[in-house]
Amino acid sequence: MQIIENSYVKEKLYIEKLENGLTVMIIPKKGIRKKYVMWATHYGSIDNKFIVPGEENVTEVPDGVAHFLEHKMFEQENGTNSLDILTALGVNANAYTTNNYTTYLFEATDNFYPALDELMDYVQNPYFTDENVEKEKGIIAQEIKMYDDYPDWVVYMNAMRNMYKNNPIKIDIAGSVESIYKIDKDILYKCYNTFYNPSNMVMCFCGDFEPEKLIEEIKNRLIEKPNQGEIKRIYKEEPEEIIEKRIEQTMEVSMPLFVIGIKDKVPKKNEDIVKKHIAIEILLNMIIGKSSNLYKELYENELLISEPFLEYEFTDNYAHIAITGMSTNPDKVLEKIEKEIDRLKKEGLNLSDFERIKNMLYGNAVKEFNNVSDIARMFITDYFKDVNSFDYLENYKQITPEYTHEILKEVFLKDKTVLSIVKGK
């Protein structure tokens, strides 16, 4: 068992790779009553074209299969629903699908091992029939239609479609009403058997655990499956250029919503993506964060209604910045942001602002280690990006104003920027 210790937060990460390929991560928190577990598979909405290990032919499936599978996993052959059983045990259970992984989770203070029994039972024993798959189509179709009426989701997806030509990130995680009606039980079993192999999965535990004992408990509950090897995922090549600069849609909103997206190059294999991520977060806060001069100006002039949400999203398949907010005039907000970026490129970064924001972000990163659910989610999300969450804490000290200024010039480009707006009718 590998042990990685971080001196900044005085936490240890225990990592064990089992014979069947399953990776187990444990972050013990002595004396904490709450326990949190996530069991995730490296299978998300973008994985629609692949070669199954041992096969030669390419398998292509309809959009939305990963999300459909997540919905169906709780239903058991004996007629019970595992979500109901977990709720009856007094634990808070859930599941969700992202672009690049699907995860099943629960949080417990009592009945941890009975809940683990149920989790490991339903994730390892799918039950799909023609009838229960057909019934689920109607439920998911309603969910898709609901999201199509949700302005926050529409403004984000429109930004993705304006940034990406071929990357499946531009497709809704749940698929479309048309695509889900092409899904049948054979497709679900094929994708389950391919992507739910232990060698493609990771478990993360955070709470008061003895790692060696917990590993034995996991082994006792695992169904024997051979390590199948690597799945070859096939993606169309994505051009570096954006598709359209601006898109506007009319919906029932009281105030226009906007997403400013900046398309970045896909991270290189040897690139220090953690350092780059930290530098981009510092820059976003310097440009338009709550303590920035530009935010104060836009807020006082009622061009911004509240602090915008700032994020840098990346995997080994895509990377972009998203600035999300509400404004009476989104075009003016973009104009002001681009003007501020130009100014910082020309004049350089204010050193006191840089240090203050870097220290604030470092403090926020340290605080995340106070909560068992935050810790587990962080380690799972970073795992699928080939990053150890501790690396962020180690790298903050190494981020210099000079390096950050280089990232500003390299990433924050006008010809890679899109504006998506949803405004009232």
Domain boundaries, the chain: 2-233, 246-424
pLDDT in tens, 369-422: 999 999 999 999 999 999 999 999 999 989 999 999 999 999 999 999 999 999
* Residue 223 pLDDT: 94
**Topology classification of domain 246-424:** Cytochrome Bc1 Complex; Chain A, domain 1 (3.30.830)
Helices (H), 223-316: 273-288, 293-300
Residue with tokens 């030509």: 165
Establish whether domains 2-233 and 246-424 are of one fold.
yes
pLDDT in tens, 250-297: 999 999 999 999 999 988 877 799 999 999 999 999 999 999 999 999
Structure tokens, 289: 């964060």
CA gap 187, 67 in Å, rounded: 13
Whether residue 70 lies in the annotated active site: yes
Helices (H), 4-150: 65-72, 82-88, 112-124, 130-148
Total-model pTM = 0.92
For residues 418 and 163, is the Cβ–Cβ distance under 8 A? yes
* Residue 7 pLDDT: 87
Q: Which residues of the chain have pLDDT under 70?
A: none
> What H or E segment, with its residue span, contains residue 153?
helix 151-163
For the chain, the average pLDDT equals 94
Contacts of 135 (CB under 8 A, 6+ apart): none
Class assignment of domain 2-233? alpha beta
* Residue 210 pLDDT: 96
CA gap 55, 61 in Å, rounded: 16
Which of the residues 11, 16, 70, 118 is marked catalytic?
70
